[in-house]
Amino acid sequence: MATSRSGTRVAGVAGRALAYLESAKNLTGSAAALGGLALTFAGFAGTYWPVVVAGLYGAGALIAPPTRPPAPDFPDDPSSQLSSLRADLTTLREYLDQVDLPPAATKRIGALTKLLDGLLEPGWVSQALAQDPEGVHVLARAVHRDLPESVDAFVRTRWWTRMAPGQQDPEEQLERQLSVLQREVEALVAGLREAEEIRQQSHTRYLEDR
C-alpha cells in the first residue's frame, strides 16, 4: 500500500515536471537563457556569465503568460436545456409520487406539473420558450430547486411538528409556496401568449397596410 502511494507521488511529480518543461514559462526562459549564452560567447558577460544566464532565464519565465486551463464548456443552447429539463421533470415526478402529501397540495402540484409538461412538450411551444432565456431559467429553477425544496421542507417540518407542535402549520406553508410557484409559471405562460398575440397583431397591421 505504501509502495503504491509512493509510486503515485513519484508519477505526480514526474507529470508536473514534464508539464513545466513543456510550459510557456520554461520555453520563454530557455530562449532568454540561450540569448545569455550568446552574449557570453560574444564576450559581453565575462566571468559573471552564469549569473547573466540564470537571470535572463528567470526574467523570461516571469514575463511568459501563465498556463491557463481551458474553461468548462457548458451547453448554453436553450433547446438543449429544455431537453435536459424534460428528463429532470420525469425524475421529479418519480420523487413526488413517493411523498405522502395532503390532498390539496397533491392537486396543486398536479396542476403545476401539468403546466410544466405543456411548456416542455417538444414542438412549437417549447420552440417559442427556447427564444426566452429568462423563461427557461424560471422553469429550470422550479424543477431543479423550488418545487423539490418546498416538498422536502414540508416533509421534514411535518415530522418535527408531530414530535413537538409548532406555531406554524407546515401544510399551510406548503400551500403558500406552491401557490407562488404556480403563479410564477402561469405568468410565464401569459407572457408567451402575449408575445404570440403581438406577433399576430403585427401581421394583421402588415396585411392592412399592404
Q: Which domain holds residue 41?
A: 2-63
Higher pLDDT, 72 or 126: 126
Does residue 68 fall inside a structural domain? no
CA angle (73, 77, 81) in 5-degree steps:
95
Most confident of 16-25, 28-37, 57-66, 100-109: 100-109
Q: Which of 58-72, 151-165, 196-210 has the lowest mean pLDDT?
A: 58-72
Higher pLDDT, 176 or 69: 176
Q: Do residues 119 and 84 both lie within one domain?
A: yes
Q: Do residues 100 and 162 both lie within one domain?
A: yes
Q: Do residues 99 and 181 both lie within one domain?
A: yes
Q: Do residues 47 and 98 both lie within one domain?
A: no
For residue 104, the model assigns a pLDDT of: 92
Does residue 28 fall inside a structural domain? yes
What is the arithmetic mean of pLDDT over 20-42?
Answer: 63
Judged against a pLDDT cut of 60, whether residue 132 lies above it is answered with yes
Higher pLDDT, 92 or 32: 92
Does residue 73 fall inside a structural domain? no
Task: Count up the domains in the chain and report the number.
Answer: 2
Does residue 114 fall inside a structural domain? yes
Average pLDDT for the chain: 78
What is the arithmetic mean of pLDDT over 26-32?
Answer: 65
Q: Do residues 132 and 182 both lie within one domain?
A: yes
What percent of the residues of the chain are helix, what percent strand, and what percent coil, each to the nearest 5?
80, 0, 20
Does residue 71 fall inside a structural domain? no
Q: Do residues 58 and 83 both lie within one domain?
A: no
Q: Do residues 101 and 157 both lie within one domain?
A: yes
Using DSSP, how many helices (H) and how many strands (E) does the chain show? 9, 0
Does residue 108 fall inside a structural domain? yes
Does residue 72 fall inside a structural domain? no
Q: Which of 10-24, 73-87, 131-145 has the lowest mean pLDDT?
A: 10-24
* Overall pTM surpassing 0.75 (yes/no): no
Size of the chain, expressed as the number of residues it contains = 210
